[in-house]
Amino acid sequence: MTVDTTVPVTDCTFVAFDYETTGLHPAVDRIVEFGAVRFTVGRELAEFSELANPGMPINPDASRVSGITDAMVAGKAPVEDVLPRFMEFAGSAILVAHNAEFDTGFLRAELQRAGMPTVESLIIDTQVLAQKAFPGKKSYSLQNLVEMLGIPANTAHRARDDARQCMRLFEHCVQALSFMGDLPLADVLT
């Protein structure tokens, strides 16, 4: 997919996304919750939130972080049924994630398992972007950046809420980097 990176960020559509998973390893672990927010800078357009049955137990450590239990996903659609709905929601938007390598690793692994084509969308990592917009911070975790910027707290470690905070962090980064007028897309690509 070819994207004109000279267009202003304000003319682009983005999907901030986050997953909760059974563990930390995309090769063996699975997604248990999909969360995403479609937006343009300054305007939320739609949201996506769905639990999925991973077909395997959730690691107790992962369950402690997210609060998602095996019982909560037992009657839900399997990951391979939720995945196409998530991909349809994402469409051709530019994807945005915090620590994007983690979430895109899971996305690519799930797409491969389902026999679906890999992601071709541009992907922006707000952790890297925040380092550019707010250099010299002690921590670039999503929770620390949200607190530092005064972004209203949601339920941390639930996919839709983390996706929404990622969207707001992205908007703060754009604002910090666009001090001289329109910011071209190329300036936020990480």
Q: How far apart are CA 133 and CA 50, in angstroms?
A: 32
CB atoms within 10 A of CB 1: 8
Indicate if 157 belongs to the active site.
yes
Q: Which of 25, 98, 157, 172 is catalytic?
A: 157
Spatial CA neighbour of 165 closest among 190, 130, 189, 119: 130
Q: Which residue has the tokens 């084509």?
A: 117
Give which of 62, 52, 63, 35 is closest to 166, Cα–Cα. Answer: 35
Give the residue numbers annotated as catalytic, written as ranges.
157
